[in-house]
Amino acid sequence: MARPNSISVLTLCFGSVLLLALSGCGGLDSTTRRDLDQAETNIARQPAAALETLNRLASLHPNETRILHARARALEGVGDWPTARDAWLDLLTRVDADDEGLTTACHRGIGRSTLEVLGVLPAEYQVATGEEVPALETAARSFRTLLEGNPGDPAALLGLAQCEHRLGAHAVAMGYLRSIPDSSPEHDPARYLELRIRETLVGLSPEWVQELSDLMTCQDEATRLAAARQLVAVASREGIDPRVQASIRDQLTHVRQLPEVPTGLVERIETFEREEVERKRQEQVTQLIEFARAARRRGDWREGWDALQRAIQISPSAKVEVPAHLNEWGDALATRIQSDLREGRIDLAAKTRETLKTLDASSFGPDLRQRLDALDAEFEEAWRKHGVGVAMQQATSRSSVF
């Protein structure tokens, strides 16, 4: 009787081992395997729900690599990149050296999550400092390991280019970018990064702006938005070549047409457009003021005065700047009248006074108005004396004739 029992026990043990081997998770019961299968399915559609399940399973099975792998993916799905990076680094220490697939997934996850933590896409690609440097070096090692096992891997090439650029090795980064095939999904992000590197090394040009604008129609949504953000950021800079500035203004309307453009980006564009309108107005005001000064120098007071009045109509801000010029003009005319009166040039003083009366005195300050009132009295007295003198001269002339 012992022999059949021994065979039965062996058969039962072998069957259990076989079932566990076929399941892929030898240490998990059927309920756990079912929950894990469902969670893996939900990562793409419902990452938060999947993560909740995987956190529970990981607490029960802390060394189960399949659970840890799925949890790292779910953390990426919910955007918790710092925790995802830690999860990938931890998983790499638990993976068997012979498991090439999971090792590759770990290196890819380490590199990808590191770049996301540092805000490389679609951020400003500033050269790394401080704690960013060792993190980027770790990510770069992971991408190089990927390339060793998968030569020409587009994602690894792009990731390595991002790391090298952030580490300041722009030429090295450019070499990796140009190795990415045009047909790969990574081609558009690579074009964007190449443009950023060219901006760093060469500067801006209308052609650069056009290429950046072209990227706003590419297949990759993240790259479209990155290009749009960069175009708006460049538009807000000061001291840009006028040709580049004009090219940027022409392209800003395309940013509004992006279906996924964030509200905040539209608001920045509207702010820039308002600033641009005000800048043009200020340019017109400046030109009118310079024209008025030139008119004043050549004695065209009326023409210059009209230019200053137009400046006030164009820009409200000119109402602060222009009155100072108007006062200056009024004061200069008053000085000329006073000088002519004292020199006895009554006719010239009268002409200048008529010019002064055609100007809008509402823009004059109180001190100038007081001076003009006193000058009017002085002129009237001088004109009266001038009239008496002329009359006496005429009378003398008539008497001498007789």
Asked whether residue 240 is domain-assigned, the answer is yes
Tokens of 260: 């996924």
Residue type, 293: R
324 and 387 part of one domain: yes
308 and 254 part of one domain: no
241 and 302 part of one domain: no
Predicted pLDDT of residue 357: 73
Q: Each residue of 17-58: pLDDT tens digit?
A: 333 333 345 568 889 999 999 999 999 899 999 999 999 999
228 and 315 part of one domain: no
Predicted pLDDT of residue 13: 39
Overall number of domains in the chain = 2
Query: CA 18, 24, 28, 29 torsion: positive or negative?
Result: negative
239 and 291 part of one domain: no
Q: Which of 100, 23, 112 is nearest to 64 (CA)?
A: 23
302 and 348 part of one domain: yes
Size of the chain, expressed as the number of residues it contains: 402
Predicted pLDDT of residue 262: 62
Q: Which of 54, 59, 85 is nearest to 71 (CA)?
A: 54
Sequential pLDDT tens for the chain (402 residues): 344 443 333 333 333 333 333 334 556 888 999 999 999 999 989 999 999 999 999 999 999 999 999 999 999 999 998 999 999 999 999 988 788 889 989 998 998 888 888 765 444 556 677 778 888 898 899 999 999 888 899 999 999 998 998 888 999 999 999 999 988 989 999 999 998 888 888 888 888 888 888 888 888 888 888 888 888 777 767 677 778 877 877 777 777 666 666 666 667 667 767 777 777 788 888 888 788 778 877 777 677 777 877 877 777 666 555 666 667 777 777 888 888 888 888 888 888 777 777 666 666 778 878 888 888 888 888 877 766 544 444 444 434 433
Asked whether residue 401 is domain-assigned, the answer is no
Asked whether residue 352 is domain-assigned, the answer is yes
Predicted pLDDT of residue 389: 47
293 and 342 part of one domain: yes
Domain termination residue (choose one: 261, 294, 311):
261
Asked whether residue 193 is domain-assigned, the answer is no
Non-local (6+) Cβ contacts of 137 within 8 A are: 163, 167
User: CB atoms < 10 A from the CB of 146, how many?
Assistant: 24
Non-local (6+) Cβ contacts of 235 within 8 A are: 245, 248, 249, 252, 269, 272
Non-local (6+) Cβ contacts of 114 within 8 A are: 85, 135, 136, 138, 139, 142
What is the helix (H) or strand (E) element at residue 297, kind and residue range? helix 263-297
Tokens of 151: 């030569």
310 and 378 part of one domain: yes
Asked whether residue 118 is domain-assigned, the answer is no
Q: How far apart are CA 210 and CA 6, in angstroms?
A: 80
361 and 319 part of one domain: yes
Non-local (6+) Cβ contacts of 298 within 8 A are: none
Domain that holds residue 361: 282-396
Predicted pLDDT of residue 77: 92
pTM exceeds 0.75 for this model: no
Torsion angle in degrees (nearest 10) through CA of 146, 148, 153, 158: 70
Cβ–Cβ < 8 Å for 104, 69: no
Asked whether residue 336 is domain-assigned, the answer is yes
Q: C-alpha 141: how far from its chain's center?
A: 31
